[in-house]
Chain A
Amino acid sequence: AQTVTQSQPEMSVQEAETVTLSCTYDTSESDYYLFWYKQPPSRQMILVIRQEAYKQQNATENRFSVNFQKAAKSFSLKISDSQLGDAAMYFCAYRGGADGLTFGKGTHLIIQP
């Protein structure tokens, strides 16, 4: 079974600075997808960024980028120029093929003004 581990229960960063959230996963599959989701207090789960395992290039979406290390099974999220609206729970998730998502326990991101 696949597992996803987020070792940082909470992270704090000053507004406008950069923060990196960590995620590791375990799988025996070679073809899979990785995601970062944001969940604000409203509970709506919002997709931040996705990475296909077969792609060597790290995904980037505006201020959000990932560092995907397939051999190390590591998938970290970097948020540049942090904004107050970035404050939320962030979940790392794994999907093999057409399966459902396997989520980590989440990292609570606090933005200090």
Chain B
Amino acid sequence: EAGVAQSPRYKIIEKRQSVAFWCNPISGHATLYWYQQILGQGPKLLIQFQNNGVVDDSQLPKDRFSAERLKGVDSTLKIQPAKLEDSAVYLCASSLRQGAVEYEQYFGPGTRLTVT
């Protein structure tokens, strides 16, 4: 079974530039998450999708971050414009949902973003 795929693995940009990350979840997983992991900290949830609808985006800085999940499969996370404090690893995860039961989250390898 293929895992969660993310690209690119690394990205370096200058502040005020834009950047986009892509995630392809495990086939059949309806729930998709984006996390931000700043160096030395645990991941923080940015946004959660159920199919192509947003379940929770309470911690997403909406003035500069946006995310979409067209057709309920792949997802993109965009930052525009980037700030120095956005330097982090961006992790995508997916999970299977059957009825009211949500199963374990499986994580992708992450994208390391450096903003200079």
Contact = CB atoms under 8 A, between A and B. Distances in A.
Contact of B104 (A4, A42, A50, A100): A50
A91 B42 contact: yes
A47 interface: yes
The majority secondary structure among interface residues of chain B is: strand
A85 interface: no
B115 interface: no
A101 B105 contact: yes
Nearest to B50: A98
Interface string A78-113: 000000000000010101011111111110000000
B109 A42 contact: yes
B104 A106 contact: no
Nearest to B42: A103
B43 interface: yes
Interface of B: 31, 33, 35, 40-45, 48, 50, 55-56, 89, 91, 93, 97, 100, 102, 104-110, 112
24 contacts: A4-B42, A35-B104, A42-B109, A44-B107, A44-B109, A44-B110, A45-B107, A50-B104, A93-B42, A97-B102, A98-B31, A98-B50, A98-B97, A98-B102, A100-B45, A101-B33, A101-B35, A101-B43, A101-B45, A103-B42, A103-B44, A104-B42, A105-B40, A106-B42
